[in-house]
């Protein structure tokens, strides 16, 4: 059995009377792309700061590659790449100088460093503007450099804290591709975001955080399967006979909403929808409207916390 | 640590405008103040009337010393000419011989012409060389010259300050220097005691064979080998000074002449004269009578003029008044304070202004260092640094070292510019450049260290740009003000001067004053200042490390 790359064990973090983290525990296996999803203020950045050695937990512990994270654990930090939420690069330096500097502080030198800087510039798509001052870059370019700065020293565990905040779709895709490529190369990734779509499209396993607690932690299908799909439709007249026929369909639950709106919850939309259409045809009922809703993380979050992710 | 230091240096130098301001602004301020302030900058205002003198008086001559000096010169003429300490003796002997011993002419002719300084000093040099004993030479020349007596009278006169002008340039005599100062309107009048002043005053007498130095306006300077060089454009000031000197000359010469005349009354030659003038008395003027008559006349006159001491050697004795209390108000050597050219190059004030503003601007880097830290925190890069394998010490030193290097360079740049642009000296002329740098470099380095210590302290404490700006500006200006960078410490009361030593600036300024203003610097004081400055720096850095919160 392989050792987890990251173990978060009952971590608490208090700021005075305020508890930012309340006993969070999870593991991330080697080569995994793990997503931490939660609204702003859920405790994601605090947790990432503890993993990055920036903060000490009030209780509990974090282990990386089996070693406990301590404030003085300088060697362990060489294995980590941290992409902070802020644009943590020097505007007065060029992209090349920034990457060179961040490589140097991790002990890289000489031709190997120059070669690696060139590789990272290519990876984040900044080769053309490598020798321009970063202050002249667009927001998206700065974000890409922000990611690149964490990659120069070839980290084995990459921590990304909301890496796409405020970027254009093109740069977002660039970042996604870069992260997927890194993961494919064997880098373990922890990706935090409050964008459900990002986590859903990137991560195989997801932890959902809210108010300092880890509400759920599972694979994406595992999380989604807890919810049913919904077929929502409207007809001119809802009759008792119609209700009886629908209730007779297999593996469904009928929910009536206000007026002439009906909701059918089911496991499998593809199987249920033709059966429903047959019932309506038999009863000569015309549809006014119809929509289906597959399970997603937004709904998972709503189900877990009772409020929307973007509240 | 080194990558961090390299990056900071790159960031500092990339902002070329700021770097230029850091280097050029102090220069501009020094230039402006150097041109705006005049002579006497950095000194307490002295409202006393300044009397400027040139003393060329050869004084009294000990014939034995002259003989010995000439004999020594004949034995070792080459040593006398080549060795600098002996040169003074050579010069003295040459002039002694020139004036008083015609037989020495062949020896004198064999020697090259040399310029010469105050005679007493020269005489002491001759004697010291020959006897190897300064005490012995002092014993030989007990009688003070008349010029020194006039000078003493001036020194003891209230409201006066006496300045002795002597040229430091071998190619120009003190008299020529005095003419230059008057010609440049730097002095309204200078009074010169010529080489034969003592000889001439010594001959002043009411007697027929003596020199009568008096005339309608007082003492005739020409008669006593003295002169006054006056600036016609500053007539009033020159006239006041001349009257002051005239009064001193009278106070010195008159008692001497009266005493001399009084003593003549007891002289047998006067008795003979008296007998010649009163023929009827010639019968009773026996030899024994004459011997008794002289002292008798002197006693009678003493009784007649009992309010006076007719044999008094100075004015106080003559007038039987209380002697002057010597308050140690001695003549001071002329100090070349003014400069040359439009920039006033070489002016003494640059010796004060350049170090003052070098020290002040070294501490002005407090703001720069503070902003470096705050901006690192604000743009989030501090978080990256903390997540990297860097310790707190490495982060702190990575910031400190480039700022220290910048501060050190700034200090050297200002001192170098001070030397090249303003013609300032880095130490006494007698020191080699290497020796000057040997003391200057540690002083600049330790000053920078203390400054950067304070800078780190501010950076460790401040969380925002506004906090850096407020704390930094108050510290820079406050410390500069109380330490004497802006207002020279010499103008402060003694107690306040001591209080300023709580600032590192004051220690740096003390050390610079030793190197730049003192002809014989107290290097122990410079060493102590360097140690204290380093101590300040170390304490500030430790405190900064303790206060520094990187989160």
- Whole-number pLDDT of residue B263: 83
Query: Which one of B274, B298, B333 terminates a domain?
Result: B333
Domain annotation covers residue B510: yes
- Pair B384, B526 in one domain: yes
Q: Which of A53, A85, A101 sits opposite B387 (nearest CB)?
A: A53
Question: Quick check: helix, strand or coil at residue A27?
Answer: strand
Residue B308 tokens, joined: 């006076």
Average pLDDT, chain B: 78
More confident residue, B81 or A219: A219
CA–CA gap between residue A271 and residue A231 (Å, rounded): 12
Percent of chain B scored above 70 by pLDDT?
Answer: 79
A55 contacts on B by Cβ (under 8 Å): 551
- Pair B175, B315 in one domain: yes
Domain annotation covers residue B44: no
Query: Which one of B299, B314, B333 terminates a domain?
Result: B333
CA–CA gap between residue B116 and residue B412 (Å, rounded): 39
Domain enclosing residue B231, as ranges = 50-55+145-333
Contact criterion met (CB below 8 Å) for A91 and A134? yes
Contact B383 A84 (CB under 8 A): yes
Distance between B394 CA and the closest CA of chain A, angstroms: 10
Contact criterion met (CB below 8 Å) for A262 and A255? yes
Question: Quick check: helix, strand or coil at residue B167?
Answer: coil
Distance between A267 CA and the closest CA of chain B, angstroms: 46
Residue B103 tokens, joined: 């037989």
Domain annotation covers residue B43: no
**Confidence band of B92 (pLDDT split at 50, 70, 90):** very low
Domain annotation covers residue B511: yes
- Pair B324, B429 in one domain: no
More confident residue, B540 or B269: B540
**What DSSP character marks residue B431?**
S
The yes-or-no verdict on residue A43 having pLDDT over 60 is yes
| Tally of domains within chain B | 3
- Pair B361, B274 in one domain: no
The yes-or-no verdict on residue B64 having pLDDT over 60 is no
The yes-or-no verdict on residue B39 having pLDDT over 80 is no
Q: What's the pLDDT tens digit per position in B504-545?
A: 999 999 899 888 888 888 889 999 999 999 999 999 989 988
**CB A10: neighbour CB atoms within 10 A?**
13
Residue A119 tokens, joined: 């590789």
- Pair B175, B305 in one domain: yes
- Whole-number pLDDT of residue A227: 81
Apex B52 CA angle, B48 and B53, nearest 5: 140
Q: What's the pLDDT tens digit per position in B291-337?
A: 778 888 888 888 888 888 888 878 888 888 887 776 667 777 777 66
Q: Which helix (H) or strand (E) holds A301?
A: helix A297-305
**Confidence band of B97 (pLDDT split at 50, 70, 90):** very low
- Whole-number pLDDT of residue B119: 39
The yes-or-no verdict on residue B42 having pLDDT over 80 is no
Domain annotation covers residue B45: no
**Confidence band of B189 (pLDDT split at 50, 70, 90):** very high
CA–CA gap between residue B510 and residue B378 (Å, rounded): 40
Where do the H-state alpha helices sit in B462-501? 465-483, 494-499
Q: Which of A166-170, B362-366, B411-415, B504-508 has the lowest mean pLDDT?
A: A166-170
Average pLDDT, stretch A255-278? 84
- Pair B71, B133 in one domain: yes
CA–CA gap between residue B454 and residue A270 (Å, rounded): 73
Mark out chain B residues that contact chain A at CB-CB < 8 A.
Answer: 3-4, 6-7, 10-11, 14-15, 379-381, 383-391, 551
**What DSSP character marks residue A177?**
H
- Pair B111, B160 in one domain: no
Contact B379 A72 (CB under 8 A): no
Residue A275 tokens, joined: 């059966």
Average pLDDT, stretch A27-56? 88
Contact B387 A80 (CB under 8 A): yes
- Whole-number pLDDT of residue B143: 66
**CB B387: neighbour CB atoms within 10 A?**
22
- Pair B479, B508 in one domain: yes
Query: Which one of B104, B119, B140 terminates a domain?
Result: B140
More confident residue, A50 or A72: A50
- Whole-number pLDDT of residue B327: 67
Contact B383 A88 (CB under 8 A): yes
The yes-or-no verdict on residue B124 having pLDDT over 60 is no
List, in order, residues 6 or more apart from A116 with CB less than 8 Å away.
Answer: A103, A108, A152, A154
Domain annotation covers residue B367: yes
List, in order, residues 6 or more apart from B358 with CB less than 8 Å away.
Answer: B26, B410, B411, B414, B415, B418, B444, B447, B512
- Whole-number pLDDT of residue B337: 63
Task: Provide DSSP, B304-325.
Answer: HTTTS-TT-SSHHHHTTPPPPP
Q: Which helix (H) or strand (E) holds A62?
A: strand A59-64
The yes-or-no verdict on residue B139 having pLDDT over 90 is no
Domain annotation covers residue B482: yes
Q: Which of A47-56, B34-43, B388-397, B530-539 has the lowest mean pLDDT?
A: B34-43
- Pair B135, B154 in one domain: no
Q: Which of A195-209, B30-44, B95-109, B277-291 has the lowest mean pLDDT?
A: B95-109
The yes-or-no verdict on residue B123 having pLDDT over 50 is no
- Pair B506, B457 in one domain: yes
- Whole-number pLDDT of residue B77: 45
- Whole-number pLDDT of residue B425: 85
Burial annotation B235-266 (CB, 10 A radius, 16+ → b, else e): eebbeebbebbbbbbbbbbbbbbbbbebebbb
CA–CA gap between residue B138 and residue B127 (Å, rounded): 8
The yes-or-no verdict on residue B338 having pLDDT over 90 is no
CA–CA gap between residue B307 and residue B320 (Å, rounded): 7
Domain annotation covers residue B467: yes
Percent of chain A scored above 70 by pLDDT?
Answer: 98
Residue B427 tokens, joined: 């130490």
Residue B365 tokens, joined: 């880097």
The yes-or-no verdict on residue B413 having pLDDT over 80 is yes
Question: Quick check: helix, strand or coil at residue B440?
Answer: helix
Q: What's the pLDDT tens digit per position in B205-242?
A: 888 888 999 998 899 999 999 999 999 888 888 999 99
The yes-or-no verdict on residue A248 having pLDDT over 80 is yes
- Whole-number pLDDT of residue B527: 94
What domains, with CATH codes, occur in chain A? 6-224 (3.40.50.300), 229-294 (3.30.70.100)
Average pLDDT, stretch A130-149? 89
List, in order, residues 6 or more apart from B497 with CB less than 8 Å away.
Answer: B484, B489
B3 contacts on A by Cβ (under 8 Å): 101, 104-105
What is the sign, positive or negative, of the torsion defined by CA atoms of A7, A12, A15, A18? Answer: positive
Contact B11 A90 (CB under 8 A): yes
Burial annotation A120-136 (CB, 10 A radius, 16+ → b, else e): bbebbbbeebbeebbee
- Pair B102, B219 in one domain: no
Q: Which helix (H) or strand (E) holds B445?
A: helix B433-461
Q: Which of B380, B386, B389 sits opposite A78 (nearest CB)?
A: B389
Strands (E), B209-266: 214-215, 218-219, 226-230
**Confidence band of A114 (pLDDT split at 50, 70, 90):** very high
Predicted TM-score (pTM) of this structure: 0.64
Average pLDDT, stretch B276-298? 77
What is the sign, positive or negative, of the torsion defined by CA atoms of B67, B70, B75, B79? Answer: positive
The yes-or-no verdict on residue B431 having pLDDT over 60 is yes
Distance between A106 CA and the closest CA of chain B, angstroms: 7
- Whole-number pLDDT of residue B94: 47
- Pair B271, B217 in one domain: yes
Contact A101 B383 (CB under 8 A): no
- Whole-number pLDDT of residue A284: 85
Report CA-CA distances (Å) from B464 to B8, B349, B370, B382, B475: 19, 39, 9, 14, 16
Average pLDDT, stretch B8-17? 80
CA–CA gap between residue A254 and residue A232 (Å, rounded): 10
B500: burial class by Cβ within 10 Å (0-12, 13-18, 19+)?
Answer: buried
């Amino acid at each position: 059995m392989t050792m987890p790359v990251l173990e978060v064990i009952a971590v608490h973090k208090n700021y005075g009377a305020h508890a930012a983290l309340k006993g969070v525990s999870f593991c991330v296996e080697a080569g995994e792309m793990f997503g931490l999803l939660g609204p702003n203020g859920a405790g994601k950045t605090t947790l990432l700061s503890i993993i990055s050695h920036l903060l000490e937990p009030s209780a509990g512990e974090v282990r990386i590659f089996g070693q406990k994270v301590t404030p003085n654990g300088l060697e362990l930090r060489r294995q980590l790449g941290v992409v902070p939420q802020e644009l943590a690069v020097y505007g007065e330096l060029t992209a090349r100088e920034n990457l060179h500097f961040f490589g140097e502080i991790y002990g890289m030198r000489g031709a190997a460093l120059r070669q690696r800087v060139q590789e990272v510039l290519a990876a984040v798509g900044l080769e053309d503007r490598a020798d321009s001052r970063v202050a002249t870059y667009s927001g998206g370019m700065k974000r890409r450099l922000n990611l690149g700065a964490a990659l120069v020293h070839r980290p084995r565990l990459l921590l990304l804290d909301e890496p796409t905040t405020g970027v254009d779709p093109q740069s977002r895709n660039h970042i996604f591709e870069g992260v997927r490529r890194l993961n494919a190369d064997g880098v373990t990734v922890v990706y935090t975001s409050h964008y459900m779509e990002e986590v859903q499209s990137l991560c195989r396993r997801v932890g959902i955080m809210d108010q300092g607690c880890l509400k759920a932690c599972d694979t994406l299908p595992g999380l989604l399967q807890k919810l049913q799909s919904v077929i929502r439709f409207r007809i001119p007249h809802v009759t008792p006979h119609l209700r009886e026929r629908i209730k007779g369909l297999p593996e469904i639950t009928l929910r009536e909403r206000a007026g002439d709106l009906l909701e059918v919850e089911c496991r499998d939309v593809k199987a249920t929808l033709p059966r429903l259409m047959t019932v309506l045809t038999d009863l000569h009922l015309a549809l006014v409207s119809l929509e289906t809703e597959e399970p997603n993380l937004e709904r998972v979050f709503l189900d877990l916390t009772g409020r929307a992710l973007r509240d | 640590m080194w990558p961090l230091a390299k990056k900071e240096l790159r960031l500092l130098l990339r902002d070329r405008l700021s770097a230029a301001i850091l280097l050029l602004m102090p220069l501009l301020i020094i230039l402006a103040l150097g041109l705006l302030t005049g002579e006497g900058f950095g000194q307490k205002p002295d409202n006393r009337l300044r009397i400027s003198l040139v003393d060329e008086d050869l004084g009294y001559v000990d014939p034995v010393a002259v003989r010995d000096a000439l004999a020594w010169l004949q034995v070792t003429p080459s040593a006398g000419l080549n060795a600098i300490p002996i040169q003074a003796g050579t010069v003295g002997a040459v002039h002694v011989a020139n004036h008083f011993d015609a037989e020495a002419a062949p020896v004198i002719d064999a020697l090259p012409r040399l310029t010469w300084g105050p005679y007493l000093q020269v005489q002491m040099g001759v004697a010291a060389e020959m006897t190897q004993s300064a005490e012995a030479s002092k014993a030989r020349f007990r009688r003070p010259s008349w010029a020194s007596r006039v000078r003493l009278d001036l020194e003891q006169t209230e409201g006066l300050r006496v300045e002795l002008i002597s040229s430091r340039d071998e190619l120009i005599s003190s008299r020529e220097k005095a003419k230059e100062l008057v010609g440049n309107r730097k002095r309204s009048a200078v009074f010169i005691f010529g080489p034969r002043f003592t000889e001439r005053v010594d001959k002043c007498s009411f007697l027929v064979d003596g020199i009568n130095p008096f005339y309608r306006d007082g003492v005739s300077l020409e008669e006593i080998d003295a002169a006054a060089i006056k600036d016609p454009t500053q007539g009033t000031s020159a006239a006041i000074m001349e009257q002051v000197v005239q009064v001193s000359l009278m106070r010195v010469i008159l008692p001497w002449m009266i005493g001399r005349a009084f003593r003549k009354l007891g002289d047998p030659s006067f008795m003979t004269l008296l007998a010649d003038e009163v023929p009827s008395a010639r019968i009773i003027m026996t030899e024994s009578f004459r011997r008794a008559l002289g002292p008798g006349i002197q006693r009678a006159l003493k009784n007649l003029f009992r309010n006076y001491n007719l044999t008094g050697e100075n004015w106080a004795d003559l007038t039987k008044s209380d002697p002057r209390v010597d308050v140690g108000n001695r003549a001071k050597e002329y100090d070349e304070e003014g400069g040359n050219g439009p920039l006033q190059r070489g002016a003494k004030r640059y010796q004060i202004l350049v170090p003052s503003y070098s020290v002040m601007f070294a501490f002005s880097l407090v703001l720069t260092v503070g902003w470096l830290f705050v901006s690192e925190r604000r743009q989030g890069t501090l978080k990256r640094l903390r997540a990297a394998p860097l310790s707190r010490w490495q982060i702190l030193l990575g910031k400190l070292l480039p700022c220290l290097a910048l501060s050190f360079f700034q200090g050297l740049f200002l001192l170098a510019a001070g030397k090249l642009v303003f013609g300032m000296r880095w130490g006494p002329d007698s020191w080699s450049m290497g020796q000057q740098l040997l003391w200057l470099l540690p002083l600049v380095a330790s000053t920078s260290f203390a400054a950067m210590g304070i800078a780190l302290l501010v950076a460790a404490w401040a969380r925002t740009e506004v906090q850096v700006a407020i704390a930094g500006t108050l510290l820079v200006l406050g410390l500069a003000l109380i330490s004497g960078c802006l207002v020279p410490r010499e103008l402060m009361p003694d107690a306040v001067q001591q209080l300023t030593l709580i600032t590192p600036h004051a220690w740096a300024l003390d050390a610079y004053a030793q190197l730049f203003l003192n002809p014989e610097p107290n290097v122990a004081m410079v060493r102590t200042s360097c140690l204290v400055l380093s101590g300040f720096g170390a304490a500030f850095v430790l405190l900064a490390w303790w206060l520094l919160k990187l989160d």
